[in-house]
Amino acid sequence: MSFRFICAGVALAAAASLVGCRTSSSSTKAAPASGAMRWSQPGQLKAEAATGIVDLRSERGPGSTEAVYERAVALATTSEAKVRALVALGHAQLELIRIQPALKSFYEARRLSYQGGMSASITALVNGGLGDAYLASGDFALAGRYLAKAAEEARGRERDLLNAKLVVVSRDLNDLDAATRYRGRLSQPISPEVRQILDRGLRKAPQLARAGMPAGGDEDEDADLGARTPANSPPASSGEKLRIFSRASWNARSPHKNIEPMGRVDKITVHHSGGDDVWSSSEADTAEEIRKIQRYHQKEQGWADIGYHYVIDRTGAIWQGRRLRYQGAHARGSANHGNVGIVLLGNYVHQSVSRAQKDSLELLLETLCEHFSVPAGSVYTHREILGGKTDCPGPALTQCVKEIRARLQKRLVAYKP
């Protein structure tokens, strides 16, 4: 479905709900055997249009949706009712990709609203319609102008939809600062309608198939974002699905009692495991390597659990480390607060990063940034977050992170912390 239809459909439903807030049992007749909806009597429709109790979407007749709203405009008995009907008509025309007629309807609604000195909510409705029409036409500058006016007056769900469209407009105008600002105004959690708008033109998140993840229980509660990805998402660029192996897959020890809750996530840090080079692609060898890291962190460092939240092996498979609900121990002191830790197995002072690792790291970072509203600029290497006081994650992985971060900055417009 094109973004034009998404915007028109969302706006049409909103406008229709404003024209008629609920369906009267007396206004909706049973459908005849032919499948065509019966029309209400003209006097009845006129009265209901004036009182605002008819849902015009149920008044389908032999004409089109556009004809339904044209009829509503003709039968409106007050200026406000006519403005609402004109806005609904404009959205119906957008749904049919009739942009110029839609603009005419919205501008007529605007003229009437100015003459009548109508409320801010009506003005927002009209400006939002004009913004949608210009967005559908590809005139992003004008779309942004009207959508911004509408967002100033709108509230709740409507304001979120308008701000989401402003994110898209700003992104298409290459104004990432504005896009970040508008996206930061969205309510949390993001609704499916808003997500549908924001995803316009973005590469979809990967399907994260969880190998060895039991159904339900404590492990599934922390499903490493796999539960949020669509079932029909595309595979990783290598042709393989990203796999997130649960803690049970590597026989993790239980965390100690000194473990602390994560709190609000606002940054991500990338590490290498360092020490000896790692070349094995065996799952058994990887599981042993992760257990070795956990033993060192718990016994030698006295930490509650393995310090990292995710481990990426040489094949690009992702393994669950410390659960996301717990603060990690990977960046030293207060730098761990709200910080998701990702480690790539290997020593990237000596080794190069495999293509599979690069792909998995980029897809995981993108998913985490989207899920936790972390901007690309808050993705760090260990060396960066410690101000140069470590060589981790080595030159090869450092360069990889910089390249990924630059791509994410262009592709994702995330919230400011």
Report the pLDDT value the prediction gives residue 147, as an integer from 0 to 100: 93
Concatenating the DSSP letter of every residue in 86-97 gives HHHHHHHHHHTT
3-class SS of residue 268: strand
- Which residue type sits at 221? E
Q: Does 354 score more than 80 pLDDT? A: yes
Weakest-pLDDT range from 11-25, 37-51, 128-142, 191-205: 37-51
Report percent pLDDT > 90 for the chain.
29
Tokens, residue 403: 């390249």
pLDDT value, residue 224: 44
Q: How far, in Å, CA of 168 to CA of 350, rounded?
A: 42
**Mean pLDDT, rounded, for 59-78:** 70
Per-residue pLDDT, averaged over 54-60, amounts to 35
One-letter amino acid for residue 27 of the chain: S
* Choice between 143 and 297, residue whose per-residue pLDDT is larger: 297
Structure tokens at 387: 């101000």
Read off the pLDDT of residues 81-105 as tens digits, 9 standing for 90 and up.
Answer: 888 889 988 888 888 888 888 899 9
**Model confidence band, residue 60 (pLDDT cutoffs 50, 70, 90):** very low
| Residue environment code for 186-203, b if the CB has 16+ CB neighbours within 10 A, otherwise e | beeebeebbebbbbbeee
Cα distance between residue 279 and residue 329, in whole Å: 25
Does the structure show a pLDDT above 50 at 408?
yes
Name the pLDDT band for 54 (thresholds 50, 70, 90).
Answer: very low
**CA–CA distance from 317 to each of 11, 184, 286, 343 (Å)?**
41, 32, 10, 12
Q: Is the pLDDT of residue 332 over 80?
A: yes
Query: What pLDDT score does 136 carry?
Result: 84
225 with 241: CB under 8 angstroms?
Answer: no
Length of the chain measured in residues: 417
Do 384 and 404 contact (CB within 8 A), yes or no? no
According to DSSP, residue 341 is labeled: E
DSSP strand pairing (242-245 vs 318-320): parallel
List the structure tokens of 308.
């990292």
pLDDT for the residue 48: 33
Burial of 233 (0-12, 13-18, 19+ CB in 10 A): middle
**Whether the Cβ atoms of residue 262 and residue 324 lie closer than 8 Å to each other:** yes
Residues 220-257 pLDDT 10s: 334 444 423 322 222 233 334 456 888 999 999 999 99
DSSP line for 270-339: EEE--SS------HHHHHHHHHHHHHIIIIIS--SS-S-SEEE-TTS-EEE-S-TTB--SSS-GGGGTTE
Q: Report the SS3 class of residue 253.
A: coil
403-406 LR contacts (CB < 8 Å, sep 24+): 404/358, 404/361, 404/362, 404/365, 404/379, 405/376, 405/377, 405/379
- Residue type (1 letter), 250: W
- Domains by residue range for the chain, with CATH: 3-198 (1.25.40.10), 208-411 (3.40.80.10)
What residues contact residue 213 under an 8 Å CB cut-off, 6+ apart?
Answer: 219, 220, 223, 226, 244, 245, 246, 248
The pLDDT tens digits for 5-40 are: 445 454 444 444 444 433 333 333 333 332 222 222
Which carries the bigger pLDDT value, residue 371 or residue 147? Answer: 147
- Asked whether the predicted pLDDT for residue 149 surpasses 50, the reply is yes
In terms of Cβ atoms closer than 10 Å to its own Cβ (0-12, 13-18, 19+), residue 218 is: exposed
Q: Which two tokens stand for residue 155?
A: 């509230």
Q: Comparing 58-72, 86-100, 177-191, which segment has the lowest mean pLDDT?
A: 58-72
For residues 34 and 318, the model is more confident at 318
Q: Which residues pair with 209 in a beta bridge?
A: 243
Find all residues with CB under 8 Å of 116, minimum gap 6, and list them: 79, 80, 83
End-to-end CA distance of the chain: 32
pTM for the model stands at 0.49
Instruction: Write down the mean pLDDT value for the chain.
Output: 74
Between strands 318-320 and 310-312, the pairing is antiparallel
Contact yes or no for 338/264 (Cβ under 8 A): yes
One-character DSSP codes across 31-67: PPTTSPPPPPPHHHHHHHHHHT---GGG---SS-HHH
Is residue 295's pLDDT more than 90?
A: yes
pLDDT band at 72 (very low <50, low <70, confident <90, very high): confident
